[in-house]
Structure 1
Amino acid sequence: MSQQKPDLPPELLPLAQMPLFKRLAARLFGHGLTRLRAQHRFSWLHGQADGFRSGHEAGVEYGYREGKADGIEEGRQVLLIRDFRPDAHTAPGIDDSLFDDWRLPLTADIKKRIKADVARLLPPHAQPSTAQWKMIFSETPSTSVIAGAGAGKSTSLVLRILLLTHYLGFELSSMTVVTFTRESRQDFIRKLMEIMSLWGQPLDAKEAQAVVRTFHSRILPMVRSLPGFERLQAFENLKAGFDDADSNPFDLRINDAQRQHLNACYQRLHRQHPRFRELIAPLARHGLQLKELERDHPDVQKRMAVTELAAQRDEELCDFIEDLWFRAGAWPIKGIEPNRQTVEINGAHFHCHGYIAELDAWVVLGFDPRENPQVSRPNAKLSVRAEWAVKRTLFQAFCRKPLIWLDSYESSKRMLSCLADDASAGPGFDYKVKGELTSAPLLDCFVTAAGFIENLGLDVPSAVGRMSFAKDDPDRLFFEALSIFWKALEDHLLDQKPPIMTYNRMFSLFGENTPENLKLLSDPLLRPLSHLMIDEFQDVSPQIVGWIRASLREIRSRGPAMHVGRGAQYSSLLCVGDDWQSIYGWRGSSPKYFMAFDQEFPSPSTTRVMLSENYRSHQHIIDAAEHIVRAAPSIPGKKAKASGAPKALVPVNVLERDDAALGRRLLEHYQRGETVLMLYRKSSDKLLIQEHIQSVVNLDSSLPADSRRLKQLTFHSAKGLQADAVFLLGDCQHVTRSPYKNQVYRMAGLGKDGDNEPYDTAQKDEVLRLAYVGITRAVSHCYWYVEKPEGQAANMPRASERVDGKKAFFDDHRH
């Protein structure tokens, strides 16, 4: 311890440090006292100072020693607090899980019992595999099951229901199994009733139908529970001839009852909305206008050589065709000025039949298909129909005037109503949105485009407001008209007695953007979604996904009170699908939600099951289909194995398009007693093949329905079916680009970042999956007849390019 001099009190300060006055007084009195020998001034002062210093130092030393000891003792009784908290505050985390953290109450005894019962009650071929048992016994709140073609998933789903009800005591009323089509729903209902009865729990048809549903049949009661909507009708089901629960999400046909509402809404808008009326006129001219042909098109190249000859006989041809129209009562048409205007085509002069001032367009009359195709003009080498075809091709390639080509007498009636502003029958003209394969009546185009946008979870007017098109692009006018029309149609439908609503609008009412509406629903309405099992999950749309997630969040938020007195507690989601079979992207479906299941459906724990055994096809068919589809993005680790009784390995035959040869081979398989599937890409292909397989069609149609062995379907319609021999007619190819679908795809967050054409990219992958679906329908034999691509299609990717003739599972007969 270092010592320091203490501070002396003022009265003991040395003389030299005293103030001047005190110093003088001290010297004076001190000097006097010293002379009187009363004191020795310096000794006394120094002694006093030294004493004070030594006493102070001793006191400090003693005080330090004693104080230190006391301080240590007291310090032992003081709580030491150290603050390890960060300077910035931290907010609580967000629990975004759709489920509580729970597990299915399965015991080893329950598993043993159900396995023994299944072994005893189901035949050997229906016994679940190890992977299927993993699906049936999944204990986690969420489960994704990747089930390839022919994986036997239906029986596994039924056994899952049996486990929950018979062995765990869950109520059937807490469950929903979702299938996508009427056919798959009926098949599953039959299987459910059959297996439940084997366990002594027979279900009648009504009970089974209450469990096995479509998404549509679950949303409709929700909306009908709201005041004023008790008798609500679904627009898609108007006079469709089937029960609400059986609506098909992939059926796009518009019936007469629906068209009446579309026309009535159009009529009122056309009369009362000036901007809508302004938009229709240029759309009509564009829709009615003769479509262009590229000058390098084979038909143009072939017919250019006879341009001069065709021009020489054109006026006589005009007279002849005009006479046919006049005799049919289809000419003249009110609103069309009969004016034989001369038009220069490739250096020669041809004639039009009339002019429409309102549309600023010329009119040419065509050859009605109901007339005799062999009729010809006197002394003419070609038929009138052939002469007309030459003229049409030349006009398509070289006429740049606004031109309307009336193909039939029927089209003249539509033109008449269009020109007379008679909107009661609708617009009266067809339109083709860029990216669509064919034109369709304008209002049908409105319904198709609006449906696609809404399936992506978007609002039509809002999405249209975010689109952009070139100034001279007629689609810009089309989508502005759609935005006006769609809002008016929804209002029109709600004004009906009883009110009408589209299914898409119902889903959006109870989706993630409006979760407060779910608070209005009673527990019994939500409870069937507590344990939700969805088949064909790869075909869900963003709109449906939003509704599922919103419903599961609402169920969780209600907590245990929702399940009081019931065996089924909490909630769960089990989804079965195959991303390789996702083929409905053109309707707005996406495999994204299945491929990224864990991220899209957050859960405390998820079970993933891979059903890789194929109980339908032999290994060559499986390998050929997988070889084609592997070029598309998919869930990793997929590789199917043929299971069941071994079959002869026959490669998939890929052949040049030959309809007659196809017909002969199809007859051979049918005569062997085999089942046959004839799959085609286009309806025109079905017509072309018909004459070559007519004998088989006649024979098969004469048999009872359950004995028929031939089915003719599109590739898309064949999902879930199988046959001994499958004939595929036509390549799988995406031949268009869709500017509007690319835009709304980006709005919906689909596709990869930076991809300006995410929809078209997705479609190029989808054609590979479509080929996979077609090939995997085959049990033993698959024949694929592929035509050579022409024109624009020659530059677009096609599935048959993935065929590798060096592989044992392909036999490529093409040159």
Structure 2
Amino acid sequence: MSEKLPPQPQDLTPPAQLPWLRRLTARLLGRGLNRLRAQHRDSWFLGHATGQRTGHAEGLREGFDEGHAVGYEAGRQVLVIRDTRAEEHGVPGLDDALFDDWRLPLTAELKKRFKADVAARLPAHAQPSAAQWKMIFSDTPSTCVIAGAGAGKSTSLVLRILLLRQYLGYELDAMTVVTFTRESRKDFISRLLQVFSQWQVPLSPVQARELVRTFHSRILPLVRSLPGFSQVRAFETLGSELPTGAEADAESNPFDLRINDAQRQQLNLCYRDLLRASPRFAELIAGLRREAIQLKALEKDHPDVQKRVAVTQLSASRDEELCDTIEDLWFRAGAWPIKGIEPSRETVEINGSRFHFHGHIAELDAWVVLGFDPGENQNYKRPGAKLPVWAEWVIKRTLFQAFCDKPVIWLGNYAEARRLTASLAGDAVAGPGFDYKVKGELAAVPLLDAFVGAAGFIENLGLDVSVAVKGMSFPQGDTDALFFEALSLYWKALEEHLLDQSPPVMTYNRMFALFGENNPENLRLLPDPLLRPMAHLMIDEFQDVSPQIVSWIRASLREIRRRGPDMHAGRAAQHSSLLCVGDDWQSIYGWRGSSPKYFMEFAKAFVSPSTTRVMLTDNYRSHQYIIDAAEHVVRSAPSIAGKKARAMGPAAGECCPVQVQERDEAALAEQVIEHYNRGESVMILFRKSADKLLISNHIQSVINVDSSLPHGQRRLKQLTYHSAKGLQADAVFMLGDCQYVTRSPYKNQVYRLAGLGKSGDPEAFDTAQKEEILRLAYVAITRAVRYCYWHVEKPGADQAGQPRASLQVDGKKVFFEDLRG
């Protein structure tokens, strides 16, 4: 490609001038020649100009070529810098990971040595499977172990701890094993001590209890390390009479909602103070009381109304005598008259007939009718009457519910009346004095108990009570709106009231929130020795974890990583790790705020540079028919993909189908006695305490024999479906179906606020509970080693269409024997 010359100049530059003498000579000579007409001036200038141009052009060309060559060579050694940077300044990214990118230092030689030791010291039936070895030898920062029922996870977890302690030299104070219940903790400690003794590794019971904890016992020391909280007590352990300093080892049951006297005293004192200090709270309580104690209406076409309306006139004719009889019973019980209720036999017209009240409450402008206390003799009759008093009373109540247009307070028992008496007398320290039923709950409970239950559910989901209440909405006239506004006021006041005690008191949920992801600055106040036990965390039954606990775990792991190597200086245990064992099919505590979401989405919830996933599919407890029946019942519930258990235990060769039949307590009792007399262990599972009493009446002889034996030799257990998890028996008897019989508007709202449930599902909690009843049946069936009997009641007319686990039973399958008509 030819080089382009620079453009020609517009004006010619004159040549360089001669010295002045030569210039003068040339000028004189030139003038002479001009006079002689010997030169042509214009030609000279034309030639001079042409020559100058040509010379100039040639000079430029020669100079350009030479300059280009020299400049090009020099330019090859010079970088051409173009500024393509963005105008904004650079901002580093945020490293918010929970773990360092590291691996457990497990060499092939170490693994070989440990396997040989296990083979030599444990019996053949206790040797780990390939999948269990994968769990034991996991070297990644996070490990998720899906372990079905009877999968032998506890033994594998014990061997994992032994590996860390004895073969890698990890200090015990860098580890924590978490179990959920008192029973599972005791069982795990026993196994740990036994295995460590076989290796002759020193481990005292005190060290084992320090290592194996519940979440609740691990959080308390953290709170006590904060300035001003060294003596803080947990609200849930009030009244337990624990010695000073022993609360950290308390084995509280996170699923026990019962309130004892010491706790109730604090609830009532706070209620008294808030009622006096807050006019709005007092107004809300008055509205709730009016709604709670007023007799609930029935539609006139309700079956009970239609059945009893025909005897209206007959019932009215004997009503005054019925009032006399009931008042006499109340008077003898010391429950009548009631201060604040004016005795008055005013009458009201009910469907054309006249009935009587017992009194009037001016403060509420409501009429009072006394009921028949359940503690009285159910066969008690008026003189000459055909029906017992309780039956006459039920007829009257039904007619009042359908046809009375006045506000009526129906006092059904003496205890209810005593609470109302205290409330009307202004004894606020006795509490509100009435029960309240939040929509979606199965029964009414004392108002403050309802406050505790609702607040606990909200906080377990990782939400602040006031913030959650602010995010709710209720239809016009819905008294739950009053309830939750009152709860918001009360819960804030209660937390302040508890902290004002000496020593201060705090709920466990409040403790977890103090060290959750919303309060990372509190974790920074902890000394290394208090945080270090969270470094290598192993959690059993992880499917029952709550969002509140997940937040605390993540915050703790993040803080450990933030502190870096200095936290582990001079120690064998370095970095941090998390190993979680669970089974999403056994997640049955959603009604308390737990969720299997964090186990099912483990890698998303606990982001790690590398995660090991282990599937333990061998079942060492039950035979294949029991496994298949249980999995068939639960299969429609969302679950981790790829799960299919296989029988591997002593009962693996047996094939006895799960027998399903219509509920018959007498037949069930005969089966129980038969299996017990054969020397087998027996477990009876029930849904309601009334069922336990009912079946106990049929098997009293077995109960008497079994209770006389030493504890370790007893072979009969009577438990709720929920409390049976982790246990087993040769023969399991399930009394009652697993049903979801209600819907919870407020829990649906809170579930959405917590980000749980499927997007777009307006009833996310109800959906989760319909899935949970299937998991509950799965847990119950898989308690059986050899035999399982399921006695299912027929659903009533009002239960048609409601979800029930027994609907999943398929009598065409070989693993079911369906004897129902």
TM normalised by structure 1 equals 0.95
Q: Which amino acid aligns with 1:9?
A: L
Note if contact 1:6-1:53 (Cα within 8 Å) is conserved in structure 2.
no
- Cα distance in 1 for partners of 2:149, 2:296 equals 42
Deviation string 1:287-325 (CA, Å, 9 cap, x unpaired) is 222334455554444323323321222222122222332
- Cα distance in 2 for partners of 1:623, 1:700 equals 32
Note if contact 2:235-2:508 (Cα within 8 Å) is conserved in structure 1.
yes
Q: Which amino acid aligns with 1:601?
A: F
1:562 aligns with 2:556: no
Q: Trace 1:449-460 onto structure 2 (pairs within 5 A).
A: 449-460=454-465
Q: Which residue of 2 aligns with 1:279?
A: 284
2:10 to 7, 12, 15: 7
Deviation string 1:652-703 (CA, Å, 9 cap, x unpaired) is 1111111111111111111111111110111122222222222222221122
Q: Trace 1:685-724 onto structure 2 (pairs within 5 A).
A: 685-724=691-730
Note if contact 2:143-2:612 (Cα within 8 Å) is conserved in structure 1.
yes
Q: Which amino acid aligns with 1:743?
A: Q
Q: Trace 1:432-581 onto structure 2 (pairs within 5 A).
A: 432-581=437-586
Could you tell me which runs of 5 or more consecutive residues in structure 2 were left unpaired when the two chains were aligned. Answer: 16-29
Deviation string 1:382-417 (CA, Å, 9 cap, x unpaired) is 122221122123333444532211122333222211
Task: State the shift of 1:554 in Å.
Answer: 0.7
Q: Which residue of 2 aligns with 1:362?
A: 367
Q: Rate the CA distance shift 1:638–1:297 in 2: closer, same or farther, 3 A.
A: farther
Deviation string 1:51-75 (CA, Å, 9 cap, x unpaired) is 1122122212212322232233223
Q: Trace 1:1-80 onto structure 2 (pairs within 5 A).
A: 6-9=9-12, 36-80=36-80
Q: Which amino acid aligns with 2:187?
A: D
- Cα distance in 1 for partners of 2:493, 2:703 equals 47
Percent sequence identity over aligned pairs: 71
Deviation string 1:177-196 (CA, Å, 9 cap, x unpaired) is 00011111011111101101
Note if contact 2:623-2:649 (Cα within 8 Å) is conserved in structure 1.
no
Q: Which amino acid aligns with 2:790?
A: W
Q: Rate the CA distance shift 1:184–1:74 in 2: closer, same or farther, 3 A.
A: same
Q: Which residue of 2 aligns with 1:26?
A: none
1:765 aligns with 2:771: yes
2:800 aligned counterpart, secondary structure: helix
2:158 aligned counterpart, secondary structure: helix
Deviation string 1:350-382 (CA, Å, 9 cap, x unpaired) is 222112121222211111233332222233221
2:624 to 619, 622, 625: 619
Note if contact 1:507-1:547 (Cα within 8 Å) is conserved in structure 2.
yes
Could you tell me which runs of 5 or more consecutive residues in structure 1 were left unpaired when the two chains were aligned. Answer: 13-29
- Cα distance in 1 for partners of 2:307, 2:693 equals 26
Deviation string 1:18-59 (CA, Å, 9 cap, x unpaired) is xxxxxxxxxxxx999756314212321221122112212221
1:329 aligned counterpart, secondary structure: coil
Note if contact 2:436-2:445 (Cα within 8 Å) is conserved in structure 1.
yes
Q: Which residue of 2 aligns with 1:264?
A: 269
Q: Rate the CA distance shift 1:201–1:473 in 2: closer, same or farther, 3 A.
A: same
Deviation string 1:248-286 (CA, Å, 9 cap, x unpaired) is 111111111111111111122222322221111121122
- Cα distance in 2 for partners of 1:2, 1:734 equals 91
- Cα distance in 2 for partners of 1:489, 1:799 equals 40
Q: Which residue of 1 aligns with 2:252?
A: 247
2:741 to 735, 742, 746: 735
Task: State the shift of 1:778 in Å.
Answer: 0.6
1:511 aligned counterpart, secondary structure: coil
1:805 aligns with 2:808: no
Q: Which residue of 1 aligns with 2:125?
A: 125
Note if contact 1:282-1:359 (Cα within 8 Å) is conserved in structure 2.
no
Which range is displaced more, 623-632 or 36-45? 36-45
- Cα distance in 2 for partners of 1:798, 1:170 equals 49
- Cα distance in 2 for partners of 1:619, 1:682 equals 29
Task: State the shift of 1:232 in Å.
Answer: 1.2
Which range is displaced more, 456-465 or 332-341? 332-341
Q: Which residue of 1 aligns with 2:230?
A: 230
1:744 to 733, 746, 750: 750
Task: State the shift of 1:599 in Å.
Answer: 0.9
Task: State the shift of 1:769 in Å.
Answer: 0.6
Which range is displaced more, 233-242 or 436-445? 233-242
1:176 aligned counterpart, secondary structure: strand
Task: State the shift of 1:484 in Å.
Answer: 1.4
Q: Which residue of 2 aligns with 1:405?
A: 410
Which range is displaced more, 465-474 or 665-674? 465-474
Which range is displaced more, 633-642 or 88-97? 88-97
Task: State the shift of 1:612 in Å.
Answer: 0.6
- Cα distance in 1 for partners of 2:8, 2:178 equals 96
Q: Rate the CA distance shift 1:226–1:638 in 2: closer, same or farther, 3 A.
A: same
Q: Which residue of 2 aligns with 1:27?
A: none
- Cα distance in 2 for partners of 1:131, 1:807 equals 30
Q: Which residue of 1 aligns with 2:686?
A: 680
1:306 aligned counterpart, secondary structure: helix
2:699 aligned counterpart, secondary structure: helix
Which range is displaced more, 309-318 or 155-164? 309-318
1:648 aligns with 2:651: no
Note if contact 1:735-1:792 (Cα within 8 Å) is conserved in structure 2.
no
- Cα distance in 2 for partners of 1:400, 1:229 equals 56
Q: Which residue of 1 aligns with 2:671?
A: 665
1:713 aligned counterpart, secondary structure: strand
Which range is displaced more, 741-750 or 309-318? 309-318
Q: Which residue of 2 aligns with 1:17?
A: none
Q: Which amino acid aligns with 2:148?
A: G
- Cα distance in 2 for partners of 1:795, 1:746 equals 25
Q: Which amino acid aligns with 2:720?
A: T
- Cα distance in 1 for partners of 2:486, 2:308 equals 39
Note if contact 1:6-1:57 (Cα within 8 Å) is conserved in structure 2.
no
1:795 aligned counterpart, secondary structure: coil
Note if contact 1:613-1:640 (Cα within 8 Å) is conserved in structure 2.
yes
Q: Which residue of 2 aligns with 1:21?
A: none
Q: Rate the CA distance shift 1:2–1:625 in 2: closer, same or farther, 3 A.
A: closer
Note if contact 1:647-1:780 (Cα within 8 Å) is conserved in structure 2.
no
Note if contact 1:193-1:203 (Cα within 8 Å) is conserved in structure 2.
yes
1:375 aligns with 2:373: no
- Cα distance in 2 for partners of 1:327, 1:248 equals 41
Note if contact 1:457-1:546 (Cα within 8 Å) is conserved in structure 2.
yes
Note if contact 1:132-1:156 (Cα within 8 Å) is conserved in structure 2.
yes
Q: Which amino acid aligns with 1:728?
A: M
- Cα distance in 1 for partners of 2:607, 2:42 equals 96
2:654 aligned counterpart, secondary structure: coil
Note if contact 1:193-1:202 (Cα within 8 Å) is conserved in structure 2.
no
Task: State the shift of 1:490 in Å.
Answer: 1.1
Which range is displaced more, 48-57 or 602-611? 48-57
- Cα distance in 1 for partners of 2:797, 2:433 equals 31
The number of equivalent residue pairs is: 799
Which range is displaced more, 640-649 or 554-563? 640-649
Note if contact 2:585-2:639 (Cα within 8 Å) is conserved in structure 1.
yes
Q: Which residue of 1 aligns with 2:193?
A: 193
Task: State the shift of 1:529 in Å.
Answer: 0.7
Q: Which residue of 1 aligns with 2:317?
A: 312
Which range is displaced more, 718-727 or 293-302? 293-302
1:699 aligned counterpart, secondary structure: helix
Cα RMSD (Å): 2.0
Q: Which amino acid aligns with 2:760?
A: G
